Structure 1
Amino acid sequence: MGEALAAYVAISRLWIRSSLEYPVSFAMMTVGSVLSTGIDFVGIWVMFSHLTTYGGFDLREMGFLYGTSQLAIGFADLVVGNVERIGMQIRLGRLDTMMTKPVPLIVQICADQFALRRVARIVQGSAVLAWAAWGVDWTPARIAVLVLMLTSGAAIFVGLFVSFSCVQFWTSDASELGNAFTYGGASLLEYPLTVFPRRVALGLTFVLPIAFANWYPSLYILGRHDTSGLPHWLELASPVAAGVTVVVTAAVWRLGVRHYTSTGS
């Protein structure tokens, strides 16, 4: 594990140094990313110019949901987001070359063309979360749940990124399928699940555990109650959901790699 992490850092540093060779371009792309990712919250802000609550949540509470969802997917996107390019690597024959190197395949794919500008989503989400956090009555328990929520949420999205990218071992290109569940799932988490049908909440809990990335722990931190009738202990179950997701992801990745057959190039 230590050697794999060192290899990931070494490869990423090469791409970071490359991007920083053009500081003006890097700065413009980063600022553009911050502005583009912030459009969603601007929409929420505008919506509250006509509302006082949405699904029982006020603007600061919505900001809390938005900030935590952006941080969860932001960390995952920064670290493993490039795995969705695996289909292109297969078509170009680059995956064959990667498999001959003494570095884990997943490390090479995720670190390849590491894009530091993706930190823009984390910066923007952190700013909104910091603003929303002023409305929370913080206790040591709630701080601990926040830390677990952010780490577990990132792990859940890492699992989703890798798992859905593995579909490309069987198809020529299915990156958009994965995006529907990763970026699409994060967009769902920007809003209270109380505004969706109960079957949606059940699906995001027991089928695709995205709700554990921020919804359930946010209920605990904000002192709210889930109106869907699900047990309250789910509010503290994010680490369990993250652990299950990682185990399933590891199994799916191994299956995909075993299934892969060379392009012959």
Structure 2
Amino acid sequence: MDVVASAAFALLDILSVLVLFLVTPSLGGFAPAEVLLVAGLAMVGFSTADLVTGNVERLRHYVRTGLLDAVLIRPLGVLPQLLAIDFAPRRLGRVAQSLLLLVIALSVVDVSWTPQRVLTAVLAPVVGTVFFGSLFVAGATVAFWWIESGEVANAFTYGGRDFTVYPVTIYAGWFRGLFAYGLGFAFVAYYPALVLLDRPDPLGAPEFVRWLGPVVAAVAAGLAWLAWRAGVRHYRSTGS
């Protein structure tokens, strides 16, 4: 039942994208099917990351109650333990719904398949999963210093998901510069979609930029790991 409910919420996310086309024929120069492709790539990455790493959000509960001490004394890595505790299979519904959306979008836009585009279709969800998973971990790490940091973390994880389901061309100015490029959200779905659609970047970025997704994801994972290690050391040093 939880899986069905989770899938229903994912469907609402999709409908929230489609409803915009009741008042406009395109978004940022992208047709409905093209926007669905962007949304599908973003949602697969986010929902898979949520399935794998979403439990780390409970870190602030373990810090507040002192239950993290029991995790620390076990001869296992702290992060793997937190990810395994209270694993939520209900999130599988969102993953399935997102994968279905991506498959439908790929069939509707009629991709002209080449080895590069096949590789992009396979790698893009992995890049999105690593990127959003890194955000989940980095956001949760703040709880080592500030227990009530949940809303701040959500602004980047769930807020980032909402940002990436649309082409970055709908955003402007410093907001687009900060989130699309400064924080790397454009590389989750927007640039992979351009590759699959065989479209030039309306924003005029060089050709090589669309292939930087794996690099951005690797950097995000590295920074999240460094932040996590610093947080664990800080917690141990305070003895709190």
Superposition TM-score tier, normalisation by shorter sequence = over 0.9
1:6-155 to structure 2, matched below 5 A, reads 28-134=1-107, 135=109, 136-155=111-130
Kindly indicate whether the alpha-carbon contact (under 8 Å) linking 1:73 and 1:153 is maintained by their aligned counterparts in 2. Answer: yes
CA distance in structure 2 between the aligned counterparts of 1:154 and 1:211, rounded to whole angstroms: 14
CA distance in structure 2 between the aligned counterparts of 1:83 and 1:259, rounded to whole angstroms: 17
Superposed displacement of residue 205, structure 1? 4.0
Superposed displacement of residue 122, structure 1? 0.9
Superposed displacement of residue 177, structure 1? 1.1
Give the TM-score, by structure 1 length. Answer: 0.85
CA distance in structure 2 between the aligned counterparts of 1:70 and 1:46, rounded to whole angstroms: 17
Unaligned runs of 5+ residues in structure 2 are none
Structure 2 SS opposite 1:143: helix
Structure 2 SS opposite 1:48: helix
Superposed displacement of residue 131, structure 1? 0.9
Structure 1 SS opposite 2:22: coil
Q: Cα deviation per residue 1:214-250 (whole Å; 9 max; x = unaligned)?
A: 1112111112222223322111111111111111111
CA distance in structure 2 between the aligned counterparts of 1:59 and 1:199, rounded to whole angstroms: 26
Q: How many residues align?
A: 236
Kindly indicate whether the alpha-carbon contact (under 8 Å) linking 1:201 and 1:211 is maintained by their aligned counterparts in 2. Answer: no
Q: Cα deviation per residue 1:147-180 (whole Å; 9 max; x = unaligned)?
A: 1211111111111110111110001221221111
CA distance in structure 2 between the aligned counterparts of 1:113 and 1:173, rounded to whole angstroms: 21
Unaligned runs of 5+ residues in structure 1 are 1-27
Q: Does 2:168 align with 1:193?
A: yes
Amino acid at match of 2:219: V
In structure 2, the partner of 1:166 is: 141
Superposed displacement of residue 41, structure 1? 1.5
CA distance in structure 1 between the aligned counterparts of 2:191 and 2:26, rounded to whole angstroms: 19
Kindly indicate whether the alpha-carbon contact (under 8 Å) linking 1:87 and 1:172 is maintained by their aligned counterparts in 2. Answer: yes
In structure 1, the partner of 2:239 is: 262
Match of 1:218 among 193, 198, 203: 193
Q: CA RMSD in A?
A: 1.4
Which sits farther off after the overlay, 156-165 or 51-60? 51-60
CA distance in structure 1 between the aligned counterparts of 2:203 and 2:174, rounded to whole angstroms: 9
Superposed displacement of residue 92, structure 1? 1.1
Residues 205, 193 of structure 1: alpha-carbon distance in 2 compared, 3 angstrom cutoff = closer
Amino acid at match of 1:220: V
CA distance in structure 2 between the aligned counterparts of 1:41 and 1:212, rounded to whole angstroms: 20
1:200-211 to structure 2, matched below 5 A, reads 200-211=175-186
Match of 2:225 among 250, 254, 265: 250
Kindly indicate whether the alpha-carbon contact (under 8 Å) linking 2:165 and 2:189 is maintained by their aligned counterparts in 1. Answer: no
Q: Cα deviation per residue 1:43-63 (whole Å; 9 max; x = unaligned)?
A: 222322343212111111111
CA distance in structure 2 between the aligned counterparts of 1:58 and 1:73, rounded to whole angstroms: 23
Task: Tell me which of the two structures has the higher relative contact order, counting C-alpha pairs closer than 8 angstroms and 6 or more residues apart.
Answer: 2
CA distance in structure 2 between the aligned counterparts of 1:148 and 1:77, rounded to whole angstroms: 18
Superposed displacement of residue 198, structure 1? 3.6
